[in-house]
Structure 1
Amino acid sequence: MAPYEPEQNTSDAGELRAGRRKAARYVVPIAVAGVAAATIGLVPALATSGDPDLPKVTAQELIEKIAASDTEQLSGTVKISTDLGLPSFGGMTGGFAPGSGSGGGSEDGEGSSADPQSKLMELASGTHTLRVAADGPDKQKLSVLDNAAEYSLIHKGDDVWAYDSKSNEAYHSKAAGKAAGKHGDAGKKDVPKDLPKDVPSTPKELADEALKAADGTTSVKVDGTAQVAGRDAYRLVIKPEQAGSTVGQITVAVDAETGTPLKFTLTPSSGGSAVVDAGFTKVDFGKPDASTFDFTPPKGAKVTEADDAKAEKHGFKGDAKEFKGEEGLNGLNVIGKGWNSIAELKAPGGQGLPTGKSGESGESGDVPPDAQRLLDSLGDKVTGKFGSGTVFKTRLINALITDDGKVYVGAVTKDALVKAANAAH
């Protein structure tokens, strides 16, 4: 194993350090909290072998190497696993199943099963194998493989196509917008309008999200070496220094030659297996074949245009710009900093959770008794200066919903959420 430098605080990294993650990234509906978790987690599902003997580097030098990497051409296979510790709901929140119709598929007559808004969010649970390819900022392809089917997302020039082979449905939209920065932004220069913006799917994107949280509240060190997908790599270990975070440790395997992150693993502060694990099992930094990014809808495929899908969803055939806005970010306030950042906002409608009873007589309330029992089993009742509420927990993202309609959410413990709610009252 190669030697490594003593632990360093990221405040020494100066301007090379990425800024604190945007508070809005913590503001997610509980139903898609796993998506936020996917920005900083993984299960050790990838095989590594050997400890290559590499030149000694400091943590700052390795961060600089990541920042200076200009990899824009690559292809390979990525395996990603996410274990948030959520209960099974009989397929309601199951793993990715191309063509299953879940999350907005057309089997129920709504939308297209190829719509990437729902399909890519399903990467937040279970284990998935992805094929990825990139050739500069205008050509990228990501395919999610299933036993007998494949879901592909292809960006080439001004066009973005998504195709679900199982349902033989395609979804087409136009690329729009320019994202800042160059490293790791292959595929982000022209961001497809209809893609979920916070669903990283490669080790590089996951590493970027982790480093954004390194704002002087984090220790970073180089902890030996590893071999991932046949490549020699350094192991960069990132640990929160604040108490109260659900993040225990993040390990990033950084390619020794190119500076490209090859594997990303997050373990929770509660211990046990990692929350998410994403990494290359095969990788090639050569130029992909040009035909990789070609796509024509197969004969008989149902093709949905993005603008038409939006109009149908809203029951509106006019100007789609009327639906723009930041719905759900009601009264956003950020409490704390770094890993302990907690987003405070108002629940939709300004009310707490629905209840199964109304008044002292016990007549039917907002939800059926069975549904109320399910809600009670998923959450922990808590009280404090703020009154009372319920904490919904995963192994990474936790959320407190108070009875008076306030929401506190972050990658922090239950006690940290209660403390923040008390301080806000």
Structure 2
Amino acid sequence: MNVFRSRPALRWLVPTAAAVVVIGGGAAAGTIVASAEPSLPERSAAQLLVDVQNAKVDGLSGTVVQTADLGLPSLPGLSGGAGGVDIMKLVAGSNTARVWYAGEDKARFALMGTLGETDVIRNGSDVWMWRSSDSSATHFKLPAPGKDHKPAALPTGVPSTPQEAADAALAAIDPSTAVSTTGAAKVAGRNAYELVLTPRDTASLVGQVRLAIDAKQHIPLGVDVYAKGANAPAFRVAFQQVSFDVPDAEQFNFNPPPGTKVNEPTKADIDKKRAEAEHSAAKRPEAPAGTKVVGEGWTAVVVAKLPAGDGAQRGQLDGLVNTLPKVSGAWGSGHLLSSALFSALVTDDGRVLVGAVAPEKLYEAAGK
């Protein structure tokens, strides 16, 4: 049985693709016994993974903070974004979110940006998406569930929390990964076990990934990603404060502030979106044309074609690439972006290579 299958009740509680960028791979965990503090019973790594899979809470609320320090240079054109979120903060800075959960049909996520707040609220059949930056809101009613209905998460693309980062890390567990435990940790004032995932391939820039798992509720409270040889995490997402009490029902009631532009899609709009989503889900995911993966696991390098773009978009992309250091070799020439956890190479012949590896690995892949 695959213990990493997501639980519907936790899917919406889940952060950011940054963790996925530095993690690869997929299968069985070891049976190393946790050397926990005396206050916590011993749990093996395999037992802790099953705990996470079977975790279920009736209520949850808290503050989640994501921080990153990847050692990247300042990149012009990456400041500001949807909802007032500074994209650079995902790789060199901090983001804060509040979450509330009271069952499948009561959930709220609030992302606090530099220029405003973005909220997604579900209360029964009502779903609201609100952005303070432009005083806009979208409201739609979910259709009544059929007899074969299975509880669903909030709409795809909703920002997430430690659960998603943990899911990405757990998916990396295969023979290329050593799994161990370091005993007890303290996150948001709560006792937690700590799982450590370490790449066996020394060519990876990732030193280890640490997961803090709540000792009582078995919910991931935090995920730290360390660069090789580093004493501080390069990427972290963790609860700063958390409560497992059921939030007050008032948290899920949303009344648009005065002056808010409210968009209410028609049933036809919703049916069209649902049909598109079902069609996409039925199709087997395929990599974009021209995309390939060189290597595997923690040292895999993704090779893709540079997006064509047009006009201002292409000019902006070229401008960003040209700010990066110029490099060349037997493989050709291009521009390099390197950080503590990953490297990216944009070649002059229109390719993009990315991996959690040193630049030399990218050059090697570019020559194939």
TM over 0.5: yes
Residue 155 of structure 1 deviates from its aligned partner by 2.6
Q: Does 1:56 align with 2:42?
A: yes
The one-letter amino acid of 1:301's match is: T
Matches within 5 A, 1:169-208: 169-172=136-139, 189-193=152-156, 195=157, 201-208=160-167
The one-letter amino acid of 1:83's match is: D
Match of residue 37, structure 1, among 12, 15, 18: 18
Match of residue 333, structure 1, among 283, 289, 292: 292
- 1:212 maps to what in 2? 171
Contact 1:40/1:209, CA 8 A, preserved across alignment: no
**Which consecutive residues of structure 2, in runs of 5 or more, have no partner in the other structure?**
7-14, 23-35, 270-274
Match of residue 90, structure 2, among 121, 124, 127: 124
Q: 1:399 to 1:149 in 2, by over 3 A?
A: closer
Q: RMSD of aligned C-alpha atoms?
A: 4.0
Separation (CA, whole Å) in 1 of partners of 2:301 and 2:286? 19
Match of residue 328, structure 2, among 382, 385, 395: 382
Match of residue 103, structure 1, among 70, 76, 81: 81
The one-letter amino acid of 1:190's match is: A
Q: Does 1:78 align with 2:64?
A: yes
Residue 51 of structure 1 deviates from its aligned partner by 5.8
Residue 207 of structure 1 deviates from its aligned partner by 0.7
Separation (CA, whole Å) in 2 of partners of 1:40 and 1:367? 26
**Which consecutive residues of structure 1, in runs of 5 or more, have no partner in the other structure?**
1-13, 20-33, 42-49, 95-101, 105-112, 179-184, 311-319, 351-365
Separation (CA, whole Å) in 2 of partners of 1:297 and 1:218? 48
- 2:346 maps to what in 1? 401
SS where residue 252 of structure 1 aligns?
strand
The one-letter amino acid of 1:382's match is: S
Q: 1:243 to 1:72 in 2, by over 3 A?
A: farther
Separation (CA, whole Å) in 2 of partners of 1:216 and 1:246? 18
Q: 1:267 to 1:173 in 2, by over 3 A?
A: farther
SS where residue 17 of structure 2 aligns?
helix
The one-letter amino acid of 1:211's match is: L
Q: Does 1:144 align with 2:115?
A: no
Number of residue pairs matched? 328
Q: For each residue in 1:190-212, what CA deviation from the matched residue of structure 2 results, as whole angstroms up to 9, or x when unmatched? A: 3415x26xx5x311211111111
Q: 1:380 to 1:265 in 2, by over 3 A?
A: farther
Q: For each residue in 1:261-293, what CA deviation from the matched residue of structure 2 results, as whole angstroms up to 9, or x when unmatched? A: 111111112636322212112211121122211
Q: Does 1:230 align with 2:189?
A: yes
Q: Does 1:16 align with 2:9?
A: no
Contact 1:78/1:131, CA 8 A, preserved across alignment: yes
Q: Does 1:276 align with 2:276?
A: no
Residue 171 of structure 1 deviates from its aligned partner by 3.7
Q: For each residue in 1:21-51, what CA deviation from the matched residue of structure 2 results, as whole angstroms up to 9, or x when unmatched? A: xxxxxxxxxxxxx95324478xxxxxxxx96
The one-letter amino acid of 2:235's match is: V
Residue 401 of structure 1 deviates from its aligned partner by 2.3
Contact 1:175/1:191, CA 8 A, preserved across alignment: no
Separation (CA, whole Å) in 1 of partners of 2:4 and 2:174? 7
Bigger CA drift: 146-155 or 67-76?
Answer: 146-155
SS where residue 288 of structure 2 aligns?
coil
Q: Does 1:266 align with 2:225?
A: yes
Separation (CA, whole Å) in 2 of partners of 1:329 and 1:52? 51
SS where residue 16 of structure 1 aligns?
coil
Match of residue 93, structure 1, among 74, 78, 83: 78
Contact 2:85/2:113, CA 8 A, preserved across alignment: no
- 1:417 maps to what in 2? 362
SS where residue 366 of structure 2 aligns?
helix
- 1:107 maps to what in 2? none
Q: 1:376 to 1:412 in 2, by over 3 A?
A: same
Separation (CA, whole Å) in 2 of partners of 1:209 and 1:306? 33
Q: Does 1:255 align with 2:221?
A: no
Separation (CA, whole Å) in 2 of partners of 1:191 and 1:328? 25
The one-letter amino acid of 1:124's match is: L
Q: Under a length normalisation based on structure 2, what TM-score does the superposition of the two structures give?
A: 0.74
Contact 1:268/1:395, CA 8 A, preserved across alignment: yes
Separation (CA, whole Å) in 2 of partners of 1:304 and 1:396? 41
Residue 134 of structure 1 deviates from its aligned partner by 1.2
The one-letter amino acid of 2:260's match is: A
Match of residue 123, structure 2, among 156, 172, 185: 156
Separation (CA, whole Å) in 2 of partners of 1:305 and 1:395? 45
User: Identity across aligned pairs (percent)?
Assistant: 35
Contact 1:248/1:267, CA 8 A, preserved across alignment: yes
SS where residue 18 of structure 2 aligns?
helix
Separation (CA, whole Å) in 2 of partners of 1:120 and 1:395? 20
Separation (CA, whole Å) in 2 of partners of 1:189 and 1:119? 27
Q: Under a length normalisation based on structure 1, what TM-score does the superposition of the two structures give?
A: 0.65
Residue 122 of structure 1 deviates from its aligned partner by 6.9
Contact 1:72/1:137, CA 8 A, preserved across alignment: no
Separation (CA, whole Å) in 1 of partners of 2:116 and 2:308? 41
Contact 1:140/1:293, CA 8 A, preserved across alignment: yes
- 2:272 maps to what in 1? none
Residue 377 of structure 1 deviates from its aligned partner by 4.6
The one-letter amino acid of 1:227's match is: K
Separation (CA, whole Å) in 2 of partners of 1:175 and 1:417? 46
- 1:287 maps to what in 2? 246
